[in-house]
Amino acid sequence: MNRSLGISDYIVFICYFIIVSGYGYWIYQRKRKVAQNTKDFFLAEGSLTWWAIGASLIASNISAEQFIGMSGEGFFVGIAVAAYEWIAAIALIIIAVWFIPIYLKNKIYTMPQFLTMRYNETVALIMAIFWLFLYVFVNLTSILYLGALAINGLVGGESLHLVMIGLAVFAMIITLGGMKVIGFTDVIQVGVLIIGGLATTYLALTIVGDRFGMGPDAMAGFKVLMKEAPDHFKMILSKPGPDAPQAYIDKYLVLPGIAMYFAGQWIVNLNYWGCNQYIIQRALGANLQTARTGILFAGFLKLMMPVIVMLPGIAAFVLYKNGHLPQLEGGSKDGAYSAILGFLPSGLKGLSIAALTAAIVASLAGKVNSISTIFTLDIFKKYISKDAPEKKLVWIGRLTVLVSMIIAIIFTWEDLLGIGGEGGFTFIQKYTGFISPGVFAMFILGMFWKRTTGAAAIAGVITGFALSVFFNNYAPGVFGNETIFYTAFPNGHGGFEIPFLICMGLSFFFTMVVMVVMSLAGPSINPKAFMLDKEMFRVTPSTLVLIIATLLVLAALYVKFW
């Protein structure tokens, strides 16, 4: 293996940087006059095509925590981790058909605005402040830190702070042009991401084939993976028995078999894709058909993401198990993707680093744009300067981008938040997962049940958080390890745990009960409820074709790997 970069690697990476920056600058100059409008700056209103929306959704979603974290889970568990990507495809269908029409009909531009219209300004302000803190101190910092750490390891390991600043500056160059520049440059970013990711996967499979005497053949390499690690190609993990080894229990705690499909897997995906400013913002400036097609296109792309971010991890596991990756001694899953990249030849390594950079930069740009949108439209304009002109709001948005990125750099410079100790993927899940059940319950009832009240919404957020903490940390000690609702398993550290996704499902269920009971004490129809009609949710034949195609491919995948 060779970790040093050759001249061809630098040439490939520099070409990528010039193309993305140059294209972004061209779009900015071309649309400069209309970019002073806030809706155009924050939402690229009416200008993003369906393919730009779909590509931007994927580029913003896939980052270092997917490349490094999901590849690591592929090394550790196997193809079962693909559930996060494949269930997302169904979640995106649900959002395209039922969520987006409600947002667009009511001219929703931000998630706090949704809460103001449906509930009240108190709920909206509480959640706006929460989302700003979450996006800046959890998501932005972890993306920046984990991204810098991954790329720094690939280029020699001696320039972490320089890489960190480079990623931040690159993202800001794109972000300061507004959502239009982000959306269209994301098309290039996702192209680089997919091409570079597929090339890495292809080379990983040929390396496996070659090391096992099958020749440099990708299909032969894939067959070797299935033969050498058959347990890594099972989508549904069976419930551990009393004699199950701790290594298997650890896997089940992460991905609790069929049970997770009746619990937290849906909450994770529907909340992330449908109630998240950072993601849904891409579609809020388009018309209904364009937004729907873009979201469904993203759903179709999600089907191939496990090939890019998970399969190299399984390849690393098979190579490690057979003594070809001694640097992974002890089974360090987080180093799986970087270890595979060490095999790549000069030139292709540069393309793979460009793909990883594209994923990180697109995520950083999307995140700071969402931070900027929420602060400018939901806090600055409403509470600080109600009469601010459009041009001033655009500049406040740009200033917010700069300030939030500087804060992120300060907190990641010496890893003040301890992201490295917990791991970026775990860090994000830990601090967002506790709030997801309450937030999703608040959104889903607010959209589709006219009786839901503002008091119930606040109670839902508090209850969801409290129950998440209880089920994750205290329930086994209070109710025991086996109940009608859950089974707690030994965690290898002297205690017992309920699988996280089961905790999330239980928290959501009981939060819904609390919100329904509280709302029943209010009026039969809340005056602020959204008016719905069947025509809002009717889909065109072309949309139906996309939905059916996605479901058929997904069904085939589950039949194959069940």
Residue 369 C-alpha from the chain's centroid: 15
Average pLDDT, the chain: 84
- Angle in degrees, CA 372, 374, 378, rounded to 5: 130
Residue 2 C-alpha from the chain's centroid: 31
45 pLDDT higher than 60: no
Angstrom distance (rounded) from CA 202 to CA 219: 9
Check if the beta carbon of residue 182 is closer than 8 Å to that of residue 366.
yes
- Angle in degrees, CA 279, 121, 363, rounded to 5: 15
Q: What is the pLDDT of residue 159?
A: 77
34 pLDDT higher than 70: no
Range 7-109+136-245+276-424 classified under CATH 1.20.1730.10: yes
Q: Which residue has the tokens 């996704």?
A: 501
39 pLDDT higher than 70: no
**Confidence band of 35 (pLDDT split at 50, 70, 90):** very low
Joined together, the tokens standing for residue 491 give 């965690």
Q: What is the pLDDT of residues 201-241, one digit of tens each?
A: 888 899 888 888 887 888 898 998 989 988 889 888 889 88
**In 3-state terms, what secondary structure has residue 22?**
helix
270 pLDDT higher than 90: yes
Q: What is the pLDDT of residue 330?
A: 61
**Confidence band of 37 (pLDDT split at 50, 70, 90):** low
Q: What is the pLDDT of residues 320-344, one digit of tens each?
A: 888 777 766 665 666 777 778 777 7
Q: What is the pLDDT of residue 99?
A: 94
Cβ burial, residue 210 (10 Å; 0-12/13-18/19+): middle
Task: State the average pLDDT over residues 64-77.
Answer: 78
Check if the beta carbon of residue 526 is closer than 8 Å to that of residue 448.
no
Rg over alpha carbons for the chain, rounded to the nearest Å, is 23
Q: What is the pLDDT of residue 533?
A: 87
Angstrom distance (rounded) from CA 222 to CA 267: 33
420 pLDDT higher than 70: no
DSSP β-bridge partners for residue 482: 487
Q: What is the pLDDT of residues 249-265, one digit of tens each?
A: 888 888 888 888 888 88
The residue ranges of every structural domain in the chain are 7-109+136-245+276-424
pTM of the model: 0.85
Q: What is the pLDDT of residues 490-548, one digit of tens each?
A: 988 888 999 988 999 999 999 999 999 999 988 888 888 988 888 889 999 999 999 99
Q: What is the pLDDT of residues 443-496, one digit of tens each?
A: 999 999 999 999 999 999 999 999 999 998 899 999 999 999 999 999 888 889
**Neighbour tally for 55: CB within 10 Å:** 29
